Amino acid sequence: MTMDRKIVIIGGGIAGMETAACLRDLGWTPVIVEQSSALGGHVAEWNCLFPDLAPAGKLVDSLRAKVEGIEIHLDTVIAAINYLRKGYSLVLSDGTKLQSDAVVFATGFSLFRAEKKEEYGYGIYDHVISNKDLELWFNTGSDERVPDNPKAVGFVHCVGSRDIKAGNTQCSKVCCITAIKQAIEFKEKFPKAEVYCFYMDLRLFGRKYEDFYIHAQKDMGIHFIRGRVSEVSETIDGRVFVKAEDTLSGKPLRVSLDLLVLMAGIVCNRDNDRLAQAVSLPLDEDGFFRSRDNVSQLTLSDKPGVFFAGTCTGPKTIPETLAEARSAALAVNEYLKTLK
């Protein structure tokens, strides 16, 4: 058995980095191909992580340290993949040719483009931002859409998630808890502001999530309104006017806000189509990659030597993504050992 087998990992987000680090620990030679100019993916753009408000930068830094010394191609995409008798031959956009015994898709997700839900007024009204914009504002403190002294702010859950009109019927899994996290952080910055969360269902399944919810209710005084926002308009003085139904009282609800934050959901990576076609892998109806099964073989594809890690197979939290990345590394390890 030779140990110099090479594995190409497509995507340098947290899933890609963790998989690469584990594979190197197992003695193989991973290569990371990342389309952007830095490792870290979406998480690198976030400020703090739920439920402990740990800084996202710390996690990304530790992962970057773990992949130090691994061959990494930044600003590069896959131009072509060919299946040969002995593994895969890949051509990168810069012309580099790579021979690999296995390929791991860690291509992640795309954030739903909030302007597609035009009725929420993203890009139209002055004080409507997305969850990502808010994280950026937490990081930099500069966004003219965020008012200096907000009296009321709203968080709209499920923007582009569970929505057939947006083309995504899946639940993005992380928005409920992210909204609570962001609401808490916002309230900490502006204790006098009223904070409203508009939700359809609160899906707080993870460890400590429910505690976080209770904290938001009890200590932070955040209001939870069960009703999906259907229409947003602008008042004469430039505030955001929100229409929802308070489904618990069964009455239409109207509220004027100084800022509206849209919790844009996790949707399939826009490049999935192209990548899937290159290796003739099936995509699910929702555009995510299809695992061999959804219980015990999440990291396996229908093709020998092709593996999945992270959110390319559906919305996941960070701990889930990291665990799956390690699991993918083990699956690759098992597979490579069977090769003669």
Partner 1 sequence: MRERFASGFDPFVIPFVLGMVFVLSYCLFGMIRILVQLPKADRRKFLLSLVTPKTLLKDIKDIFLNCLIHVKLWKRNPVLGYMHSSIAFGWFMIILLGHLEVMLFLPERIHLFYYPIFFNYFVAETETTLQGAVLFFLMDFFLLMILSGIVLAIIKRVRSRIVGMRRTTNPSFLDRVGLYSLWAIFPLRLLCESFTAHISGGSFLTLPMNWIFRQFLGNELNALPTWWAYSIALGVFMTVLPFTRYMHIPSEMLLIPLRNAGLHILHPRKGFARVQFYSCPGCGVCIDACPMSVRKENLKDCTVYLNRQLRRGNEKRIEEISDKCLMCGKCTAVCQVGVQGPELRLAQRTMRNYGVNPHYSDIDPERFRVEGGSAKVLYFAGCMTHLTPGIGKSVRSLLDKAGVPFKMMDPEGGLCCGRPMMMAGRKEQTRELIRLNTDIIRNSGCTTLLLSCPICYRIFKERYSLDGIRIVHHSVFFDELIKQGKLSVQHNDSLRLAYHDPCELGRGCGIYDEPRSAVSSVAELLEAGKNREESICCGGSLGSLSLNFEKRKDITLASLKNLCVEDPDGIVTACPLCQSTFSNYSDIPVQDIAQVLDNASS
Partner 2 sequence: MDFGFSLSPSSAVNLDNTDMSLYERLCEREPGAKTCMACGSCSATCTVSAINGMSVRKVILGLQRGQFRDVEKMLSRCMLCGKCTMVCPRGINTRHLILELCRLYGSKEGEL
Query: Where along the sequence are the contacts to partner 2 (CB under 8 A)?
Result: 119, 158, 162-166, 200-201, 226-231, 243-247, 250-253
Q: Are 16 and 9 in contact (CB under 8 A)?
A: yes
- Residue 315 interacting partner from partner 1, partner 2, none (CB closer than 5 to 8 Å by kind): none
- Specify the residue, 121 or 150, whose C-beta has the smaller distance to partner 1: 121
* 256 binding partner 1? (CB under 8 A): no
| Region of 42-50, 118-126, 298-306, 307-315 interacting with partner 1 (CB under 8 A) | 118-126
Least distance in angstroms from the C-beta of 171 to partner 2:
11
- Amino acid making up residue 26: L
**Rounded-to-integer distance, Cα 70 and Cα 189, Å:** 40
- Residue 246 interacting partner from partner 1, partner 2, none (CB closer than 5 to 8 Å by kind): partner 2
- Residue 227 interacting partner from partner 2, partner 1, none (CB closer than 5 to 8 Å by kind): partner 2
Among 5, 116, 127, 157, binds partner 1 (CB under 8 A): 116
Length of the chain: 340
| Region of 20-28, 162-170, 206-214, 325-333 interacting with partner 1 (CB under 8 A) | 162-170
- Residue 252 interacting partner from partner 2, partner 1, none (CB closer than 5 to 8 Å by kind): partner 2
**Rounded-to-integer distance, Cα 330 and Cα 325, Å:** 9
- Specify the residue, 165 or 340, whose C-beta has the smaller distance to partner 1: 165
Among 164, 285, 295, 340, binds partner 1 (CB under 8 A): 164
Q: What tokens were used for 320?
A: 């889930």
- Specify the residue, 99 or 169, whose C-beta has the smaller distance to partner 1: 169
- Residue 221 interacting partner from partner 2, partner 1, none (CB closer than 5 to 8 Å by kind): none
- Residue 116 interacting partner from partner 1, partner 2, none (CB closer than 5 to 8 Å by kind): partner 1
Among 45, 71, 234, 245, binds partner 1 (CB under 8 A): 234
Among 4, 68, 141, 165, binds partner 1 (CB under 8 A): 165
* 273 binding partner 1? (CB under 8 A): no
- Cα 45 to its chain centre, rounded Å, is 11
Stretch 119-158 residues interacting with partner 1 (CB under 8 A): 119, 121, 123-125
Least distance in angstroms from the C-beta of 119 to partner 1:
5
**152-159 sheet: strands from edge to edge:** 128-130, 259-264, 152-159, 194-199, 223-226
Which are the contacts of 119, defined by CB distance < 8 A and separation ≥ 6?
Answer: 230, 231, 232
- Residue 286 interacting partner from partner 1, partner 2, none (CB closer than 5 to 8 Å by kind): none
The site for partner 1 (CB under 8 A) is made up of 116, 118-119, 121, 123-125, 164-167, 231-234
